[in-house]
Copies of this chain bind each other. A is one copy, B any other.
Amino acid sequence: MVRKMELTHVNEKGVKMVEVGQKEVVFRKAIAKGRIKLKPETIRLIQEGKTKKGNVIASAQIAGILAVKRTWEIIPLCHPIPLTGVDIAFEFGKDYIEATCEVRAYYKTGVEMEALTGVSVALLTIWDMVKAVEKDEKGQYPFTRIEDIRVVEKIKE
Query: Which residues on B sit within 8 Å (CB–CB) of A7?
Result: 45-46, 52, 56, 129-130, 132-133
Partner of A17, one of B85, B106, B113, B140: B85
Instruction: Tell me the chain A residues, 108-130 only, with Cβ under 8 Å from chain B.
Output: 108, 110, 112-113, 116-117, 120-121, 124-125, 127-130
A141 and B129 in contact (CB under 8 A), knowing A62-B76, A124-B117, A148-B147?
no
Give the interface SS of chain A, mostly helix, strand, loop or mixed: mixed
Q: Which 10 A-B pairs have the closest CB atoms?
A: A19-B85, A54-B54, A21-B84, A58-B58, A146-B149, A17-B86, A145-B150, A13-B89, A8-B132, A141-B151
Chain A interface (Cβ within 8 Å of chain B)?
Answer: 1, 3, 5-10, 12-21, 27, 34, 41, 45-46, 50-52, 54-59, 61-63, 65-70, 72-80, 82-90, 104-106, 108, 110, 112-113, 116-117, 120-121, 124-125, 127-133, 137, 139-141, 144-151, 153-154, 156
Q: List 19 A-B contacts (CB under 8 A).
A: A7-B129, A8-B131, A12-B51, A14-B51, A15-B129, A17-B85, A17-B86, A21-B27, A54-B58, A62-B63, A62-B76, A66-B76, A70-B74, A76-B125, A116-B124, A120-B121, A140-B154, A144-B151, A145-B149
